[in-house]
Structure 1
Amino acid sequence: MSIRVDRRRGVLAGLGAWAGAAMPAGPAIDPLAGASLQADVRTYASLGVHRTGTPGDAATTAWLLRRLRAAGYAAQAQGFDYPVFELGRADLELAGRTLESFPYWTPVTTAPGGVTAPLSTAGGPGRIALVTLAAGAGGGLNAAPPPQIVTAAASGAVAVVAVTENPLGELAALNRTPKARAWSVPVLLAAARDGAALRAAAAAGEPLTARLEGRTVLGRADNVIGHRARPGKHLVLSTPKSGWFHCAGERGSGLAIWLGLARQLAATTDHNLTVVAACGHEFDGYGGHVFTETAAPPPADTKLWVAIGANVASYDFALRDGRLVRLDGPPAGRILACSDALMTRAATAFAGQSGYQAPSDIDRTRPPGELAHFQSLGYVPLIGLVASHPLHHTRRDRADVTGPAMLEPVARGLAALIAAAT
């Protein structure tokens, strides 16, 4: 059974009505054990590309519904319409070499076989414009399109190629405003490793063939919402479930911890639990907005909201002699953010965990990511985790980006903080 939301305007039926649909919990195991968490990461990554409305996204919805129901939750899919670009082919051909590429949303396609024209950093009629983006440009929530792309698309160029700088040489996809108007010309992203060759070709005015084939259809996407009804205010546990590629570290590490905590809380506490895995994250958290507008418990009925963001339990990576190498610890830039009243307890729960051991007070400093949205709606207290990563938004973000020894401490830290906060 599922619930359909048409373009954010439907209202989800009362969560309390779901209680009778819950299935009995399975045998008692430790849901926060590292091996169990990593198994869930591997499963998530194996389901394919997790872009909103794709087959991999639908498979993730079905998997999460099964897991929540097995843990004793009444769980349903909250469906909403979303335009889905079904990508057929995206690549660049330069001097006989085929280079990696990916569209920048909202895509407009080339003719079959692509478009061939001289490459130029100045753009202009009859040319393919080349721009280079700084690392992280356009990759965050609610980020405006990089001005270089806007200018190049308006120059009369027949296509735009944007090199996405990345410390590991990867192509990094860019987030986009929900349902943004399609570009006037094809806009394709290129990997940092190919930037030097593309810039040299542009300086010489060499021809480039850009191919972007596919079609846009009106598709379906789903949030997954679970409820374990008990008296009292809700404890809300949220995380995004969608992303550009396989997203094992970006989304999978947080989703595994979300599942582990959902199981642990249902088995060991008497909280009134609401858990949500939201779709549409790469489109400025679209599904999260659908949930808060139609199905979330109101702030006055919520005692705590815990938001698990990107890359929360991932190893750092580096290039060594041209090879990608996993390092022993996490990257810099891990953030634990919470309401002022929880600061001391947060520091205690995450003592010794790099980055997280020094929490950020969101009552004094603007919170990161989706936590800012939840705070703006009046939810308090709040807890949020998020981290940067050099493989964020790249095709190389696979299951080996995390592991049991990275996942378990973060999961247990969050469990300890939730227990202390409630």
Structure 2
Amino acid sequence: MTDPKLLGCAALISFFIGSAAIAEPAPGGRLFDDLNKYASFGAHRTGTPADLETSAWMAREIEAAGISVERRPFSVNRFVPDSAELITAGGTVAGFPAWFPAVTPPSGTPAPLVQLRADGGLEGPTNSIAWVDGDTAGVWHEVDVALWAERAATAGAVGLVLAIDHPSGKLYQQNAKPPHVQAPLPLPVLIVPASSAATIRQALGQDVTLRVTGVQEEAHGINLLGRVRRGTGPWVVVSTPTSGWFGAAGERGPGVALWLSLARAMAAQEGRTNYLFVAASGHELDYLGARTLLGEGVLPPPEAVRAWLHLGASIGTRDWEIRDGRAVPLERMQPNSYAFANEQLQERLHRALAEVTAIRVLPVEHLPESRGGELTLYRDAGYPVAGFVGSHRYFHTPRDQPDVTSPALLAPFDRALQQFLNDLSSGD
């Protein structure tokens, strides 16, 4: 007969084994937790409290893994929006100021609303507010906001309302471009979603009021340099941008989460490879943080770097399907993400990403500067680069929230990129 005490012990062991199995974290769970933490700070515009808190949190996380962190501030001309709207007889249309904002008086600028043609002519009097609809403005990711502002100012307008027809139907904000990264546009510009067009068209020829107001301040962003120094051997650099217009959960969150995961993993390993973990703010301001780092002489020279892995936009974000007019999330990757690598790293990255069948690895030389973000800056500085660029359904919109990805979509990238880094250091 079996001893009842043994039966009790067996049951207890079974309970704990079962509980451990249930409690085992799902793949990608910590990545998604970090992504949610990133999103919880709010709008990540450079130099804002949310941006500074993000940098401080990331620094603490990798310091806890034993990594030495250098915090490098850089100056930024910060604009804090107060109001951004067009007031018409048919209602108020909310938008967002084009960067860098020129402002109206606090009460707004009253004037007739008139169409601005593609040739730059106003279909009405000067001293009016110009309107450019989504069709006239062009394809959403190719709209030249500064050019339209120059056309409107040259035509004698006192303000511009510009619709950008983003595929999601949401408000879409472009990154700032020279010469208006830190200097105002020639006139106040309100960006609105194309869905506002019907209300605005009804106001053509009528008096409206444009309000673009806010506070301009001297501020600073933070670049982080986390070093795992093991001797005189080569460096492997892992970088990610940290800032963005809004919550940027899918645009920036996956890169931030993967950066943290890779930093923890590499710090825990032995070897002779030196690692540098770069987290640069200023992304939406023409990559201001990365440009500052490249100009400061604090990075290892290209000849001392074995590889530079850049964790750019929209890694592991999901695809969507439109059903009955609603966007339904799918548990598969969207098709607008790309990996690029130089010749010496292309096969390594392709091999590491074998599990991620939705990603192709393309030659980085084919990546245009206008589409490549910081990756093209590091490439053009002579570094042996590999990395990711892309967009997703809610890219650069206020709707970019954590549900645009999932633990299951992020986990394969963590496995692949740890393999990529381990492969690079296998000869140590």
What are the superposed Cα offsets for residues 137-187 of structure 1, whole Å, 9 maximum, x if unpaired?
457xxxx64533320132211210110111111111111136443123211
Shift of residue 390 of structure 1?
2.3
Equivalent residue number for residue 388 of structure 1: 391
Q: Of 285, 288, 302, which aligns to 1:286?
A: 288
What are the superposed Cα offsets for residues 19-39 of structure 1, whole Å, 9 maximum, x if unpaired?
xxxxxxxxxxx9994110000
Equivalent residue number for residue 206 of structure 2: 206
Tell me the distance in 2 between the aligned counterparts of 1:45 and 1:65. Answer: 16
Distance 1:148 1:311, change over 3 A: same
Question: Does the aligned pair in 2 maintain the 1:279–1:287 contact within 8 Å?
Answer: yes
Equivalent residue number for residue 414 of structure 2: 411
Tell me the distance in 2 between the aligned counterparts of 1:363 and 1:115. Answer: 47
More deviation in 30-39 or 281-290?
Answer: 30-39
Equivalent residue number for residue 74 of structure 1: 68
Tell me the distance in 2 between the aligned counterparts of 1:183 and 1:32. Answer: 48
Distance 1:366 1:189, change over 3 A: closer
Question: Does the aligned pair in 2 maintain the 1:138–1:145 contact within 8 Å?
Answer: no
Shift of residue 304 of structure 1?
1.0
Q: Secondary structure at the match of 1:316?
A: strand
More deviation in 330-339 or 176-185?
Answer: 176-185
More deviation in 306-315 or 176-185?
Answer: 176-185
What are the superposed Cα offsets for residues 74-108 of structure 1, whole Å, 9 maximum, x if unpaired?
11221011100011121222334222200111112
2:245 counterpart of 1:248: no
Question: Does the aligned pair in 2 maintain the 1:299–1:379 contact within 8 Å?
Answer: yes
Tell me the distance in 1 between the aligned counterparts of 2:139 and 2:402. Answer: 23
Q: Give the counterpart letter for 1:174 in structure 2.
A: Q
- Structure number with greater Rg is 2
Equivalent residue number for residue 268 of structure 1: 269
Distance 1:265 1:31, change over 3 A: farther
Question: Does the aligned pair in 1 maintain the 2:250–2:405 contact within 8 Å?
Answer: yes
Question: Does the aligned pair in 1 maintain the 2:84–2:95 contact within 8 Å?
Answer: yes
Shift of residue 131 of structure 1?
1.3
Equivalent residue number for residue 18 of structure 2: none
Distance 1:33 1:189, change over 3 A: same
Distance 1:234 1:278, change over 3 A: same
Distance 1:113 1:350, change over 3 A: same
Equivalent residue number for residue 183 of structure 2: 181
Q: Where in structure 1 are there 5+ consecutive unaligned residues? A: 1-29
Q: Where in structure 2 are there 5+ consecutive unaligned residues? A: 1-23, 117-121
Question: Does the aligned pair in 1 maintain the 2:287–2:373 contact within 8 Å?
Answer: no
- Taking the TM superposition and a 5 Å limit, the aligned residue runs for 1:219-258 are 219-231=219-231, 232-258=233-259
Equivalent residue number for residue 158 of structure 2: 158
Q: Give the counterpart letter for 2:260 in structure 1.
A: L
Shift of residue 351 of structure 1?
1.9
Q: Give the counterpart letter for 1:286 in structure 2.
A: L
Question: Does the aligned pair in 2 maintain the 1:137–1:146 contact within 8 Å?
Answer: no
Q: Secondary structure at the match of 1:287?
A: helix
Aligned residues between the structures: 385
Q: Give the counterpart letter for 1:162 in structure 2.
A: L
2:37 counterpart of 1:36: no
Shift of residue 50 of structure 1?
0.3
Q: Give the counterpart letter for 2:361 in structure 1.
A: P
Q: Give the counterpart letter for 1:375 in structure 2.
A: R
Question: Does the aligned pair in 1 maintain the 2:27–2:408 contact within 8 Å?
Answer: no
Tell me the distance in 1 between the aligned counterparts of 2:239 and 2:258. Answer: 11
- Taking the TM superposition and a 5 Å limit, the aligned residue runs for 1:47-62 are 47-62=41-56
More deviation in 325-334 or 61-70?
Answer: 325-334
Question: Does the aligned pair in 1 maintain the 2:146–2:185 contact within 8 Å?
Answer: no
Computed over aligned residues only, the root mean square deviation of the Cα atoms, in angstroms, reads 2.2
Equivalent residue number for residue 195 of structure 2: 193
Equivalent residue number for residue 103 of structure 1: 97
Q: Give the counterpart letter for 2:185 in structure 1.
A: W
Equivalent residue number for residue 338 of structure 2: 335
